[in-house]
Structure 1
Amino acid sequence: MKTERQATTHRATSETDITVTLDLDGSGKANIDTGIGFFDHMLTALSKHSLIDLSVKVQGDLHIDGHHTVEDTGIAIGQTLRQALGDKRGVRRFGHALVPLDEALCEAVVDLSGRPFLAFDATFDRDRIGEMDTELVEEFFRAFAMSGLLTLHLTQKAGKNCHHIAEAGFKALARALRMAVEADPRAQDAIPSTKGKL
């Protein structure tokens, strides 16, 4: 299994300028600055509970709205994850987690399949959490899954408080990712697929 599972991505468009660095074998250290406070909070939770060290620096067109910043950050983090994983030798590949936050309960299931797909089932009864549009929660997960070439099922099982639902979702993804990217001691250096490639 690859020992240095780290990567850095710089993604610049006319709408955003983003630099992401991550270390799959970190301790959950986060350095996040997207310009959207609640989004920073979610990405910090993602780092903390996945034990993936994550640095994200974004300059986005927030004078328009948060859409480009959130979606493009999802793309950049997905690209960086994909680079850090390499050919995925020796990883567990699958991960799942069911995470509560008070009355909210969210489930995330991840497959580092190489086939991007998002199934998202969560409901928010207000338009914003802090400075972030609630519809952008799904946009982040979609951009991350598509760019990271992974399958992600994220399901809200319970909850009314929008902050709690979103945070439980990010934490569930974090715990599922932690499991999926871990080294599997029984797999040694094998690629976890009958095809021999992911």
Structure 2
Amino acid sequence: MFDAKLRPLIDPPLNRMGMALARSGVSANLLTFTGLSIGLAGAAAIAFGHLLSGLGLIIVNRLLDGLDGAVARVRGPTALGGYFDIVADFAFYVSVPLGFGVLDPANTLAALVLVASFVLTGVSFLAFAVIAAERGERTEAHGRKSFFYSTGLAEGGETVAVFVAFALVPAYFVPLAYGYAVLCVLTVIQRSVLAIMQFRD
């Protein structure tokens, strides 16, 4: 929901850092896999009760996720890089609620519901992208990407904000997780309505 509005603020500094990294020979894929490793380490830290350390690693993961795109914009985005990026994103997204589920058994059901809602959101996102590509449709609302990025109520910025809230107020994990799962389902409905409007022949 807020990602497209944040782009004008975060893209300029990311692009400057991306330019420097690209000139030094750092590849976008290296940043993607480094970020994924750090993000999974953050989820593991949370599972073992190190919430602030986990939060720090989550923030580093998101920074690297932004930088891999910035480097890709300098070198030119590739289909393989886009594939690795989206797989790494969703692997990271599901790992964090699972970490909280391992941390406290009382969180397990809410964590599983949230992961299921992430899966639904991801499927709707990718299905929309595939059909949009087949129809030759393009958008740069989220910057120049390897494939079509449809907007929704629950996007990357909102997800990170919820993860931060999980780490800072873990006692509220269950209601926050259920609330965000509802927002994810609403995003699927919103995207489905958009698909009906946009893809109707």
- Quick check: which has more Rg, 1 or 2? 2
TM range (shorter): 0.3 to 0.5
TM-score (norm 1): 0.35
Flag the structure with higher helix content. 2
